[in-house]
Amino acid sequence: MTPQAGREWLYLGDTELASADHDLPQGAVSIRSMRAPDKETANEDAAAVIPFGKTALILAVADGVGGTPAGREASNRAVRTLSEVLSRTEATTDNLRPAILDALEEANRSIINSSRGAATTLVVAEIVDGQVRSYHVGDSELISVGQRGRVKLRITPHSPTGFAVEAGLLDEDEAVQHDQRHLLFNVIGTADMRIEVGAPTTLDARDTVLLASDGLMDNLYFDEIVEVVRKGPLSEAADELLKRAVSRMDNGAGGQPSKPDDLTVVLFRRRSTS
């Protein structure tokens, strides 16, 4: 993945591995993205880090839907459109929510009009003045974790297994290896696309926000992920997530989850105010 420089950083699937760390006024950001082991085609994930004005930060992860003719094109188009819409929007926080919604709608129309049968998931974190709000379409993940491991925010994937876990009908660990885990009923690239918008959640100093494609979520249990991201330097947490997921992809022995796939992780940690 090659980052495209500007007021934003876009990470698109051009190379086998991308690794970047950014120190921003709102906090630290670490990105890790890699193509699935032994995969010959391009990484179908994309990610973005987009500062908006002096106090806001937008993070995004898109995962081109496997089996569609142009998954990589769709994920790239989604994050590019998000960046383009925000770049032409006056940088005030009152404009932020409508701009993100407009961007997702514009990306949806563009992907549909490409007539290539493409589709992608997209998850967006809007971070403003110590609060995070989620926007998502599909099953890419977003969570917020405190230093003691308390999960303050987690979105519900737009999938049958995601809803079953939310309703208490399916165990979290069972869902990781469920044979219908990758069925989706909501993606960008369809006429009936629906954007789910979360309520603002407060971020305390050193809270961590994670966005990830299913290359992470299919290979590590949720509790493992929380334990890694809640402590230690952010860049080391990102490296550890990548290391563990790749190990599972290469060797799923002992009944552990194992599904080779493109993997992208974006971590944000709010700066300490002390």
Per-residue pLDDT of the chain (274 residues; tens, 9 = 90+): 545 545 689 998 766 778 999 999 999 999 999 999 888 888 999 999 999 988 899 999 999 997 666 899 999 999 999 999 999 999 888 999 999 999 999 999 999 998 778 999 999 999 999 999 999 999 999 999 999 999 999 998 987 565 455 666 556 655 565 555 566 789 999 999 999 999 999 999 999 999 999 999 989 999 999 999 999 999 999 999 999 999 999 886 677 888 889 999 999 999 876 5
Token digits of residue 182: 């990758």
How far is the C-alpha of 6 from the C-alpha of 150, rounded, in Å?
35
Q: State the residue for tokens 């860049």.
A: 235
Are β-strands 196-197 and 151-154 bridged in parallel, bridged antiparallel, or unpaired?
Answer: unpaired
Total domain count, the chain = 1
> Residue 263 pairs with which residues in a beta bridge?
34
Q: What is the CATH number of the domain that holds 18?
A: 3.60.40.10
Residue 128's domain comprises 2-270
E-only strand ranges, 25-156 = 27-34, 45-52, 56-64, 120-128, 131-137, 141-145, 151-154
Instruction: Name the nearest CA neighbour of 80 among 46, 54, 43.
Output: 46
